[in-house]
Chains A and B, each alone.
Chain A
Amino acid sequence: MEQTLTREAETGNTLPFIEKEVEMGFFANYFAQDESGKLMMQSGCQRISHCSCNCNHCSFLSG
């Protein structure tokens, strides 16, 4: 799915009343640029499949 905003829009000048800003980096996990430079949402994220029960089946953290 196309995003109309470019990556450049993700950052900007800090406002004077903001002491510090941090980019959390979520876009990098969900979006990738296509050949034309548009941001495309990637389909799903395998890292979502963690679980925390005792069965151990979902802690596939090594991918």
Chain B
Amino acid sequence: MIREGEEIFFVDYDNDRAKTILYAPLRSYLALMSHSTKDMLLDENDNVVRQEFFKKLKSRAVIDVGKIAGQLHGMNPELSLSITDNCNLRCRYCHASAGEERKKGVMSHELIDVVLDSYFSHLLPGTKVIRIHMAGGGEPTFEFTTFKYAVTKAKEHASRLGITCTFAMATNGCYGNEVREFIRHNFHNVSLSFDGPPHIQNLHRPLANGKPSFEAVFETAKYFYSNRVSFAIRATVSDYSIEHLTDVVDFFVSHFPGVNVALEHLTPNGRALTDNTLRSPDKRKLAEKLVMLFEYVKGKPIKISNAASAEYDNVRPFFCTAVGIPNWTVSVDGEIVACARDNGPEAFNIGKVDLQRRTVLLDQAKVNGLRDMNIANYEECSDCFAKYHCCGDCPDRRLSDKCDCDSIRLVGKSLLNRKIDNLA
């Protein structure tokens, strides 16, 4: 709500219902007070409590989310190359149905050349550092020759321009030492898809031949860990694994202390629509589990995260840079989408690579449309305390009506309570 020109929210204080938490995210401020103080702050009539409080609040620096949004619009897009649609795994919930009959494409070297030429010529003057992702529907290392070609060519472009080119990737970790070493020497951020102990990993993410994937992925994780590769673990939570989340956390913290683990719920896309082995977990239940886990991991060398509900380290106008900038994710056949999520909405298809003219064609109207997907334009979020943290949730989920505000708020309320209680 807006009072005295300030955006403030009230959140229940769990330890004492006679008190309430005031949250002013754009002032980076949280306060515990009585309900009578709250009533005076909201009183239509002028009073000294209201005067003093807002005087103090206004004395704090303010975060201008509009400026942040404007800066994002002016940033270089992050480039993602979908090296292949193919994969050596057949994860039961794969959003891309990777490896299936019509999902075995590989990016041509010609396409990589044209994309890189266009991307580097598109960079803003004075650019010093860029980050290129190897990400898409399939496992990028599955086509290792093409994968290495793209990395090598990007480095050559960057070197010619005096730009530092960093690389990031999402990977299933299912390969041997040659690939591991290449990643170790070339990649700066790795998101390793790893769902937990063998009974979970092997159920969720079997090999293409149906055999278990755990051992190979575990070895990769150990390799990354012992060789100090900067990696985080992304674990998808299903209706099966939600019953074992403390085991999942214990497993990761015991083998990889200090690692960051993102626990994200299974979203029914791609193969998950036809493979009924696993289903989405109950979202409310997952939110309750996350709240429990934040307490459970206290003092343990692990960070638990959840993209929509648990981002309380900053405020943001956009859920992600996919819509904020927006980014370029190039498919194996040269389509350019803002987000690598397969079967994303048409609004995400922002351009294509024209091989004949050896250039990239962007639809500026669609680019502008994506930039409008920010919290300032979500009227239904205006009175929600979590608005600058979930940012209306993943734009794709938003367009496909898969958001769950109640769960997001449940986790957020818990985190703000923990902040007040000095637990977070």
Contact = CB atoms under 8 A, between A and B. Distances in A.
Nearest to A41: B67
A61 B262 contact: yes
B37 interface: yes
A58 B272 contact: no
A45 B137 contact: no
B32 A20 contact: yes
Contacts, number: 200
Contacts of A25: 28, 313
B232 A24 contact: no
B387 interface: no
B28 A57 contact: no
B399 interface: no
B320 A51 contact: yes
B277 interface: no
Given A15-B56, A52-B306, A54-B95, A43 B19 contact: no
B56 A12 contact: yes
Contact of A57 (B32, B93, B191, B269): B191
Contacts of A30: 63, 68, 314
Interface residues of A, number: 45
B318 interface: yes
A57 B315 contact: no
Looking at chain B's contact residues, is the secondary structure mostly helix, strand, loop, or mixed? mixed
B193 A56 contact: yes
A8 to B, nearest CB: 10
A10 B72 contact: no
B320 A50 contact: yes
Interface stretch (B108-116, B157-165, B337-345, B357-365): B337-345
B71 A41 contact: yes
A4 to B, nearest CB: 8
Contacts of B135: 55, 57
Interface string A12-39: 1001011111111111011100000001
B262 A48 contact: no
Contact of B61 (A27, A48, A53): A27
Given A24-B30, A50-B311, A59-B232, 19 more contacts: A9-B61, A12-B56, A15-B56, A21-B30, A21-B31, A22-B420, A24-B25, A26-B25, A27-B63, A41-B67, A46-B131, A51-B394, A53-B95, A54-B94, A55-B137, A55-B342, A56-B170, A57-B191, A61-B260
29 contacts: A3-B61, A5-B59, A17-B52, A18-B53, A26-B25, A43-B74, A48-B320, A50-B262, A50-B307, A50-B320, A51-B320, A51-B341, A52-B394, A52-B397, A53-B394, A53-B397, A54-B94, A54-B236, A55-B341, A56-B170, A57-B136, A58-B320, A59-B191, A59-B232, A59-B264, A61-B191, A62-B191, A62-B231, A63-B188
Complex A-B, nearest 10 residue pairs according to Cβ-Cβ distance, in ascending order:
A52-B307, A61-B232, A57-B135, A26-B28, A61-B260, A22-B30, A54-B95, A62-B232, A5-B61, A59-B234
